[in-house]
Structure 1
Amino acid sequence: MDFHEILVLAVFTGVYLGMALGRWPALALDRTGIALCGAIVLLFFDEKTGASAAAIDTGTLAVLFGLMVLSAQFAASGLYEWCAARLAAAAASPAAVLALVVAVTGGLSSLLANDIVVFAMAPVLCQGLVKAGRDPRPYLFAHAGAANVGSAATLVGNPQNILIGEHGNLDFWHYLFFAAPISLAGLAAVYLVVLVTWRRALHHDTTAAGPVFAPPGIALDKAVLVKGILATLTLLGLYMTDLPRWQSTLLIAGVLLISRRLSTREMLASVDWHLLVLFGGLFVVTGALSGSSLNAQAIALLQAGGFSLEDPALLGAVALAGSNTVGNVPLVILLLSALPGLSPAALYSLALLSTFAGNLLLIGSLANLIVAERAKREGVRVSFLDHLRAGVPMTAVTLALAFAWLALWDF
């Protein structure tokens, strides 16, 4: 092993260890900073490592950026807060409110970035549920679980699906036809699991008094909302054409930025720049590894052992382990970089399994962590063990449904 390979392997190991731990010991670097520093080191020694900015998948970043702008349009209209407020104020039984939380969250997350959906909705949901005399925790677990499972329905529902769709040049509508039914079944599973595992807390909830309404102070900006809806419908129409998805998404983002009411600064403030930088850094790190002989040797060892990630069972095991250690986004970037020849069937399976697997642990997906952090700021503690209580059965049931679905499709 020469200096080039040692350096690439050392940086890769350090970066992905940081992804698993969430930070480097004694340093304030988070996952984004770790990925960025790793990319900088490899680019500095580019002649030795072969690292290049060309490894960055600009198409994926363009789609992700454009969808963040679209989601920012809905956030500016007050849609997310309005939905959360109405859910929390619903004069209905705990079981009915739980069902509404799952349905609304899953629906919004299927077309809009699920991380932004939970970021905006979780605090308002927390506030309203506490005021209504309900324990917010089961509803928050349903909120996070539904955001993950619902986002699996499309190629634009979450960052890893965007990456997979762009990498494989997958058809938006064909994937929707494949994934929507099992995603709906998964949402039903999320609801039933939380209903059963948190039945005591739900049983002791008090029913909110009064009619179903949005509390004062939270109103929809209808003009901004209508523009967002029209933009979404137009984007879905463009996805039916031969225009590359990244061009379609950027076009819509550009149209949304042209506004008389919402400033560019306001719109761009809602873009998750940290996530975009994380993607860029990981693209460079994994690109350097895939360009080395280490990657070829690892693939040869897998093949010699009779292992193939075309097998849904092995892919599911890797997705479950990887999503709950390094995270589903870093895992997907690594797999696509190391195994560029995955078939469309394997990519479909990866999109579904890596997303469902993210519900297992609190650290399994960014949506889970966002809900926990936003709840903490509202005085509601969501512990690792509390999440585990619903996360383990939720993941077991949804993955079992996913494997049955893949078998039905003869994957």
Structure 2
Amino acid sequence: MNVTLVIFTLVYVAMAFGKLPGFRVDRTGAAVVGTLAMIVFGAISPKAAWDAVDYRTIGMLFGLMVVSSAFVVSGFYAWLAQRVATMPVSPPTLLAMLIVVGGVMAAVLTKDVVMVAMTPLLVSITMARKLNPVPFLLAFCFGVNTGSVGLISGSPQNMIVAQGLGLSFSGFMKVTMLPALLSFPVVWAVVAFMYRGRWALPAGEGAAPPPADAIPPLDKGETIKAGLVTLLVMAAFMSDLWPREIIALSAAGILLLNRKIASKDMLGQIDGNLLLLIMGLFVVNAALDLTGLPQQLLHDLRDIGVDLNNPVTLCLVGGMLSNVIGNNPTVMLLTPFLQPGADADALGAALAVGTGFFSNLVVFGSLAGIIVVEQAARCGVRISFAEFSRAGAPVTVCCLVIALAWIMYLT
């Protein structure tokens, strides 16, 4: 038990700090090494380790990543970013459009892929308009984080919550879509207020328009094909007639079987590190579960009045913990110990909305936040930790009010 607890602690220290202190081991590396250590030291058997990995979540996530990658390689993301960002509208109106576009795309096509594809494009296009890219990048990121809450397909943590609590696609949407939509005007109002009068770049810092070959041309045929497949996936999810992972993987197979686009180009857009991270955490968490320590801890917490099966408590605890170890680890840690029963919808909403809405508090509160800061830096735009939180904190507080009011209504 002591060895198991030490390994588990080290893995989650890496989740909190982004790497294992003293080593060049990031979150994914820590999850993989932790898995191997659990097996080597006998904390979990190889068979139990394989069984611990939820193939349904991994299959659905991989399939939806392939679907989203089809829009990347077809040039749709680049075309959409250029069309929206070059429209002759005022900066506040452009801000609102990016929030809605980002939030809706994230809910359907998985938020992390959307952030990777759109961030460098938004930097290039806003600077070409001599606009300060920071408020637009932050608003897009905040909208992606809150909008992704609306559908199971929006993020890995949504998939884990739905699988763990037995929620259908339509059932999940019924309890998360409204707060996700209500978050959009909140994000817009906060960011527009905080950056009022600071929309333009300082003199001399403008950028030339991106060269024509920097933005891939739109392949209308492939975009239409990807769009039709996505619509069929959503319809199949809604029908709830087939397992969600089978639907997503079937869609991936259809899109990979392509005469124009190489499968390696599509698979190159897949975030393999994220898949390995989630698989590793399934095993690490299962090994700790075998010690009985989590059950004892939950019992002790209940004795002092902290009941994770209370939706309001779960929302707050899940949200705060997600800013320490990340969204996906938090959901994976808490979901197995919930007792849904008649409150499954409220608990699902509490965990999904709590971790999603709290994501905007600090940079490392979500992978989307890390992506936007790191990719912006590669494009020459610096978003500091303080600047992210200066806008993200009031967004989080205001969205939290919406979340708590909604959860209390559900209960």
TM-score range (shorter-chain normalised) is over 0.9
Tell me whether 359-368 or 218-227 shows the greater mean CA deviation.
218-227
Tell me whether 304-313 or 112-121 shows the greater mean CA deviation.
304-313
Secondary structure of the residue aligned to 1:152 is: helix
1:126 to 103, 123, 126: 123
- Distance in 2, Cα, partners of 1:340 & 1:284: 21
Equivalent in the alignment of 2:367: 366
1:24 to 20, 27, 33: 20
Shift, 1:301, TM fit? 0.8
Task: Output the TM-score relative to the length of structure 2.
Answer: 0.93
Deviations 1:22-67 (A, max 9, x none): 1112211100000110000001123x44562211111100000000
Equivalent in the alignment of 1:223: 221
Confirm whether residue 386 of structure 1 aligns to residue 387 of structure 2: yes
1:185 to 173, 182, 185: 182
- Distance in 1, Cα, partners of 2:211 & 2:188: 25
Q: Against the structure 1 CA distance between its residues 92 and 408, is the aligned structure 2 distance closer, same or farther, given a 3 Å change threshold?
A: same
Deviations 1:64-99 (A, max 9, x none): 000000001111111111122223322211111111
Q: Against the structure 1 CA distance between its residues 30 and 276, is the aligned structure 2 distance closer, same or farther, given a 3 Å change threshold?
A: same
- Distance in 2, Cα, partners of 1:340 & 1:405: 20
Shift, 1:129, TM fit? 0.9
Aligned length: 399
User: Please, which runs of 5 or more residues in structure 1 have no aligned partner?
Assistant: 207-212
RMSD: 1.9
Please give the residue correspondences for 1:54-203 in structure 2 after superposition, counting only pairs within 5 Å. Answer: 54-202=51-199
Q: Against the structure 1 CA distance between its residues 340 and 261, is the aligned structure 2 distance closer, same or farther, given a 3 Å change threshold?
A: farther
Q: Against the structure 1 CA distance between its residues 99 and 86, is the aligned structure 2 distance closer, same or farther, given a 3 Å change threshold?
A: same
Equivalent in the alignment of 1:319: 318
Shift, 1:215, TM fit? 8.3
- Distance in 1, Cα, partners of 2:93 & 2:230: 29
Tell me whether 237-246 or 148-157 shows the greater mean CA deviation.
237-246
Equivalent in the alignment of 1:352: 353
Secondary structure of the residue aligned to 2:381 is: coil
Do the aligned residues in 2 keep the contact of 1:69 with 1:271 (CA within 8 Å)?
Answer: yes
Shift, 1:238, TM fit? 1.4
Secondary structure of the residue aligned to 1:358 is: helix
Confirm whether residue 236 of structure 1 aligns to residue 237 of structure 2: no
Shift, 1:307, TM fit? 2.1
- Distance in 2, Cα, partners of 1:289 & 1:338: 12
- Distance in 2, Cα, partners of 1:55 & 1:252: 25
Equivalent in the alignment of 1:209: none
Secondary structure of the residue aligned to 1:199 is: coil
Shift, 1:203, TM fit? 6.9
Return the letter of the residue paired with 2:59. Answer: A
Do the aligned residues in 1 keep the contact of 2:124 with 2:210 (CA within 8 Å)?
Answer: no
Shift, 1:370, TM fit? 0.4
Tell me whether 10-19 or 290-299 shows the greater mean CA deviation.
290-299
- Distance in 1, Cα, partners of 2:112 & 2:49: 29
Do the aligned residues in 2 keep the contact of 1:23 with 1:29 (CA within 8 Å)?
Answer: yes
Do the aligned residues in 2 keep the contact of 1:359 with 1:391 (CA within 8 Å)?
Answer: yes
User: Please, which runs of 5 or more residues in structure 2 have no aligned partner?
Assistant: 204-208
Equivalent in the alignment of 2:206: none
Equivalent in the alignment of 1:6: 2
- Distance in 2, Cα, partners of 1:338 & 1:346: 12
Return the letter of the residue paired with 1:398. Answer: C
Shift, 1:312, TM fit? 2.9
- Distance in 1, Cα, partners of 2:89 & 2:210: 14
Task: Output the TM-score relative to the length of structure 1.
Answer: 0.93
Shift, 1:348, TM fit? 2.1
Shift, 1:318, TM fit? 1.2
Secondary structure of the residue aligned to 1:200 is: coil
Do the aligned residues in 2 keep the contact of 1:8 with 1:49 (CA within 8 Å)?
Answer: no
Confirm whether residue 38 of structure 1 aligns to residue 34 of structure 2: yes
Return the letter of the residue paired with 2:21. Answer: P
- Distance in 1, Cα, partners of 2:358 & 2:20: 25
Q: Against the structure 1 CA distance between its residues 205 and 63, is the aligned structure 2 distance closer, same or farther, given a 3 Å change threshold?
A: farther
Equivalent in the alignment of 1:245: 244
Secondary structure of the residue aligned to 2:363 is: coil
Q: Against the structure 1 CA distance between its residues 340 and 17, is the aligned structure 2 distance closer, same or farther, given a 3 Å change threshold?
A: farther
- Distance in 1, Cα, partners of 2:305 & 2:44: 30
Please give the residue correspondences for 1:262-277 in structure 2 after superposition, counting only pairs within 5 Å. Answer: 262-277=261-276
Please give the residue correspondences for 1:237-316 in structure 2 after superposition, counting only pairs within 5 Å. Answer: 237-239=235-237, 240-316=239-315
Do the aligned residues in 1 keep the contact of 2:147 with 2:180 (CA within 8 Å)?
Answer: yes
- Distance in 2, Cα, partners of 1:280 & 1:189: 35
Deviations 1:298-329 (A, max 9, x none): 12212222321122332122123211110011
Do the aligned residues in 2 keep the contact of 1:94 with 1:205 (CA within 8 Å)?
Answer: no
Tell me whether 333-342 or 246-255 shows the greater mean CA deviation.
333-342
Deviations 1:199-246 (A, max 9, x none): 13127799xxxxxx9984543111110111110111112111321111
Secondary structure of the residue aligned to 1:381 is: coil
Tell me whether 343-352 or 353-362 shows the greater mean CA deviation.
343-352
